Amino acid sequence: MTTNATAPKTLGKVRPHQTQNEALVFEKSSPGKRAYKMPPLDVPAVDAAALLGDAHRKTPGLLPELSEIEIIRHFTRLSTWNYAIDLGMYPLGSCTMKYNPRVNEAVARIEGLAEAHPYRPDSLAQGILDVIDLLQRCLIEITGMDAITLQPAAGAHGEFTGILLVRAWHESQGNARRKILIPDSAHGTNPATAAICGYTVENLKSNSEGGIDLEALTRQVDEETAALMLTNPSTIGVFESQIHKIADILHAKGALLYMDGANMNALVGKARPGDFGVDVMHLNLHKTFSTPHGGGGPGSGPVACKAFLEPFLPTPVLCKTGNREQGTGNRDQGTGNRQGLGTEGPGTAGQLHWIYDRPQSVGRVRAFYGNTGMFIRALAYILANGPDGLRQTTEDAVLNANYIRAKLEDLYELPYKTASMHEVVFSDKRQAAKGVKTGDIAKRLIDYGFHPYTVSFPMIVHGALMIEPTESESLEELDLFIEAMRAIAREVDETPDLVKTAPHSTRVSRLDEVQAARKPILRWRPTE
């Protein structure tokens, strides 16, 4: 429990939990208890051993035995220990943990959409194919690109798909090339993606403003460079103001510009990557377009590209029978004919269907076209907001981040003075002088009722505190967060050990994170 000595000095948000102890459900078990009563058997009894053979258990499974009220209270209490977006903000930078509107969930459960099996015949799937088609068109317009695939399962999977497109195009030109340039501010998945796709990785140093050093880029780009993988805005929340020049330098050498679109929450409705020289990029529906996020999925990482990369998109691609203007999901440039989709496919004229005959395609990157449930939710979000609403979302996200920056930069070191976009990155330099690191501050923030920010990333900022409030947060919530961060800064000055030993209000005190990672205990075992 929180004590007076360790309680936060400002209690606008956090309170001690009413139940700090809870036994495991197995430990609460008592023989003979049950939460159900089955009716008498009204069919002939079957010999389970004869029916199941070797699969029949010789002894019953060790399952907990509890009453209904014990089960309900147990899991209800456990649920209150989980931090969730319904309880408060997730200030995780680079992840855009925005609120998932409940209307998205309602739409995804509409009869017909919720039951749309991915392998039903095209003639019986026109409704869900129309959802996919409309989402593709929306994302193409938002990004300013020419074509798109929704197949990738997440952002890193989208990176993989995008770099496969880059490689396939270079191979079609007679040279797959050897290396990919990656800035030191990149997401960690970028170099992994490049390596998996068979490229060597060459690091590109950032300049004093946290952006691309044009002189270094000019020196490093050569005829062996396949692409530059660039996050824009970058992982320190800075927009690459020289993005047109970056694209020109790459294109002059025959290299491509790949954009990691994880931070599109700062651009939607304001700027389109296709308009400032990007050749291929991925999006995160679970970041920018409010589909569920976390817990390993479900995710979605669409990849958008310019027309010259279109023939290499994963199969299948969506097309409309008899449509001579375009393959579905492509901009109105006649690309349906150029990419070899054909205009006369199976089915009734005007119907949507999948095309599999794509000679230059990189092939499937997933079993089916993508995560259909996420498509429905993302489209619901886009249509609910509309162009003006999406633009306002971006403006609010940037405003919120800069509000936090303005309220905290007198207490926390700001390593880059460049204007912030949707997130702000501080460092623990001032607090480290008292022996308090970014991880300590993050754990103390738990005592104030907030999920920690992103710790120690990006790597180019030593002791980074990466904060992204998103557009979801009200002024009241932002002020509570700012108040907590300022209070922690005062605690570092006055009682640093209090912060170094945090958290104090959780059921479990500070864990040995190394042991937890190396020797996790993932199951309950009965005593002998």
Per-residue pLDDT at 328: 46
Six-digit token string for 233:
């805005």
Backbone phi and psi for residue 282, each to the nearest 5 degrees, phi listed first: -115, 155
User: Are 138 and 379 within 8 A, CB to CB?
Assistant: yes
Residue 129 and residue 352 in contact, taking contact as beta carbons nearer than 8 Å: yes
d(CA 492, CA 133): 54
Q: What sign does the CA torsion over 92, 97, 98, 99 have?
A: negative
The pLDDT of residue 17 is 60
Residue 385: predicted pLDDT? 96
Separation CA 4–CA 7 (nearest Å): 5
Q: What DSSP string runs through 354-367?
A: EE---TT----SSS
Q: Where are the alpha helices (DSSP H) in 409-454?
A: 429-432, 438-447
CATH match for 391-517 among 3.90.1150.10, 3.90.245.10, 3.30.365.10, 3.50.50.60: 3.90.1150.10
Measure the CA–CA gap between 1 and 152, rounded to whole angstroms: 45
Half-sphere exposure of 431 (CA within 13 A, CB side): 33
Query: What one-letter code names the amino acid at 453?
Result: Y
DSSP H helices, 98-240, are 102-108, 126-143, 155-172, 189-196, 214-220
Length of the chain (residues): 528
Type of residue at 524: W
* Rounded Cα distance, 113 and 307, in Å: 31
Please check whether residue 504 is in contact with residue 6, taking contact to mean a CB–CB distance below 8 angstroms: yes
Return the number of other C-beta atoms located less than 10 Å from residue 513's C-beta: 9
**What is the DSSP track for 146-168?**
SEEE---SSHHHHHHHHHHHHHH
Task: Give the Cα-Cα-Cα angle 145, 147, 148 (nearest 5 degrees).
Answer: 105
3-class SS string, 21-54:
CCCCCCCCCCCCCCCCCCCCCCCCCCCHHHHHHH
Distance CA 449, CA 505 (A): 9
CA of residue 417 relative to chain centroid, distance: 27
- H or E segment to which residue 203 belongs: strand 200-204
- With a cut of 50, list the residues of the chain below it in pLDDT: 1-2, 324-328, 331-346
Query: Would you state the structure tokens that stand for residue 295, as one six-digit string?
Result: 């817990």
Residues 6+ apart with CB under 8 A from 50: none
Distance CA 250, CA 226 (A): 9
How do residues 55-96 score in pLDDT, each as one tens digit?
998 888 888 999 999 999 999 988 888 888 888 899 999 889
Q: What pTM does this model have?
A: 0.87
Helices 372-408, 475-494: axis angle to 10 degrees equals 50
What are the Cα distances from residue 263, in Å, to 66, 94, 236, 259, 514? 47, 7, 10, 10, 30
Q: Angle 471-476-482 (CA atoms, 0-180°, nearest 5)? A: 85
| C-beta of residue 413 within 8 angstroms of C-beta of residue 436 | no
Contact 468, 92 (CB under 8 A): yes
Domain extents in the chain = 19-80, 391-517
**Distance (Å, whole) CA 455 – CA 524:** 31
How is residue 479 written in tokens? 């002020």
pLDDT of residue 348: 64
**What b/e sequence results for 432-447 when a residue is b if at least 16 CB atoms lie within 10 Å of its CB, and e otherwise?**
bebebbbbbbbbbbbb
Nearest one of 467, 420, 460 to 445, comparing CA atoms: 467
Query: Are residues 99 and 381 in contact, defined by beta-carbon separation less than 8 angstroms?
Result: no
User: Residue 404 belongs to what H/E stretch?
Assistant: helix 372-408
Q: What is the pLDDT of residues 149-168, one digit of tens each?
A: 999 999 999 999 999 999 99
d(CA 362, CA 359): 9
Run of H or E residues at 225: strand 225-231
Tokens standing for residue 201: 């990785």
